[in-house]
Amino acid sequence: MTVIPLVDLAAQHAAVAREVATGWRNVLARTAFIGGPEVAAFEAEYATFTTSRHCVGVANGTDAIEIALRALGVGPGDECILPANTFIATAEAVSRTGAVPVLVDCVDDDTYLIDTDAVEAAVTARTRAIIPVHLYGQAAPVERLLPLADGIGAWVVEDAAQAHGARRGDLGAGAGGHAAATSFYPGKNLGAYGDAGAVLTGSDDVARRARMIRDHGSARKYEHDLPGLNSRMDTLQAVVLSAKLRRLAGWNAARRDAAARYDVLLSGVDRVIRPRTLDGNEHVWHLYVVRVPERDRVLKELRAAGILAGIHYPTPIHLTPAFAGLARVGLARIGGALTVAERTAPELLSLPLFAEITVGQQEQVVGAVQMALG
C-alpha cells in the first residue's frame, strides 16, 4: 500500500541536506551552539522576509507568544482576546504571563479566522492585548483590529506560527500588529529540526526587551534587569532555518499550486466544504482543511487506505479540560457565543499537502475521500 503523509519532511530535507551539513560542520568546529553569527544572520533574513523591523530568535513558538506579551508589559490582571479555534499554545502563553485568556468565535465556516466583531464585543477595561491567529496559512484581518486596540490602549500581537510567507496587502504576516510570534516547529512551512521560534516587531524597545527576556532578563552576562526565561535559539537550528528560508518562496508557490489543484479535484465531490481565501490575502497553505460529515469515520477510512490526513483542531480551547477548569475559577473567560468554533470542529479534516506532493498523490487522496463519503 502506498502511504501519503500529511507532510513529507524527508523530501524537504533532501533539498537542503548538503547546505545544512556544511553549516553544521562549521558550528561543530567552533563548538558554539547558542547565538552567534548564524542566529543573527537568520534573524536579519527573516525580518526582511516578513517586512518586519526586528526578528528575535527564541526556543519555540509558545515562548515567542509569551515573550512578545511580556515585552509589551502584559501580565497579571490583564485580559488577552484570542480565537477559540487555535492550538492550545496560544492560550497557554497568555496564562503563563498571568493574564486571562478571553476566547472568541471565528467569523465564518470556510476561513475560520477570528471574528473581529466578537473581539469588539469582548473588550473590557482589562483588555491589554488582542491576538489574531493567522490560521492554516492565511492572515487574519489585523487592520480591522488595530483601530480597536489603539482606541482602548491595547496591543495587537499576531500569532503567525502557521503563516510563514503569507501576506495581507503589502504586509507580511507578522508585520501588521505591534508584535508577532511565530513557531518553526518541524512541520511548519518553515520548520527547524527541532523546536525554535521568533518574536517579530517594529519597535526597537519591544525587540530590546524580548532579547533580554529570552536570556534570563539580561542584556549583559550576569546582569539581570528583568524576570526572564531561558529561551534562546540554538545555532544548529538557525543554520537549518536559513537554508530553508532561501527556498521558502518556491515551496509556498508549490503549495498554492497544490491547493488550487485540490479545489478543482474536490469541486465535484458532494458534502465537502472547501476552504476559502479571504480577499486581500496571499495564502501559503500550511494546511488544506476541508469540512466533511462523519469526520472521524472518514479519517479512519483514509488512514486505512494509506492517506495520513489529520485534524486541526479537534477541540476548541474552551472545551479542553485544561481551560474549562480555568474558566470555572476565573482564570479564563468566554467572550460570547462560540457557535462557529463548536459547530465546525467535529467536521474539520486536513488533507495531505506539501510542496512535493504529486498530481497522482492528490488524485489518490481525493478518490479516497470520495469513496469514504459514498
Instruction: Give the percent of the chain with pLDDT over 70.
Output: 100
Pairing relationship of beta strands 167-168 and 218-220 according to DSSP bridges: unpaired
The predicted structure's pLDDT at residue 108: 81
Percent above pLDDT 90 for the chain: 97
- Per-residue CA distances from 58 to 42, 80, 161, 197, 350 (Å): 12, 22, 13, 5, 28
Given pLDDT bands bounded at 50, 70 and 90, which one contains residue 109? Answer: confident
CATH number given to 9-242: 3.40.640.10
Q: Which residues does 327 contact at the CB level (< 8 Å), separation at least 6?
A: 318, 333, 334
Read off the pLDDT band of 110 (50, 70, 90): confident
Distance of CA 281 to the CA centre of its chain: 16
Alpha-carbon distance of 304 to 250, in angstroms, equals 32
Q: What is the mean pLDDT of the chain?
A: 97
- Per-residue pLDDT tens over the stretch 138-192: 999 999 999 999 999 999 999 999 999 999 999 999 999 999 999 999 999 999 9
Report the pLDDT value the prediction gives residue 45, as an integer from 0 to 100.
98
Domain segments of the chain as ranges: 9-242, 248-373
Query: Is residue 119's pLDDT more than 90?
Result: yes
Only one residue has cell 483590529, namely 145
Q: What's the pLDDT score for residue 64?
A: 98
Could you tell me the pTM of the whole model?
Answer: 0.97
- Nearest CA to 358 out of 279, 293, 262 is that of 262
pLDDT band at 44 (very low <50, low <70, confident <90, very high): very high
Reduced to 3 states (helix: H, G, I; strand: E, B; else coil), residue 344 is helix
Average pLDDT for 239-259: 98
pLDDT at 226: 93
List pLDDT tens digits, range 175-234: 999 999 999 999 999 999 999 999 999 999 999 999 999 999 999 999 999 999 999 999
What per-residue string of b and e applies to 123-151 under the rule 16 or more CB within 10 Å gives b?
A: beeebbbbbbbbbbbbbbbbbebbebbee
Coil, strand, or helix at residue 301?
helix
Please give the average per-residue pLDDT across 95-100, as a whole number: 98
Overall average pLDDT of the 282-292 stretch: 98
pLDDT classification of 66: cutoffs 50, 70, 90: very high
Is 374 a residue whose pLDDT tops 90?
no
- The fold of the 248-373 domain, in CATH, is Aspartate Aminotransferase, domain 1 (3.90.1150)
pLDDT score, position 1: 77
Cβ neighbours, 10 Å, residue 85: 26
Q: Which residues of 4-24 are buried (b: 16+ CB within 10 A; e: fewer)?
A: bbbbbeeebbebbeebbeebb
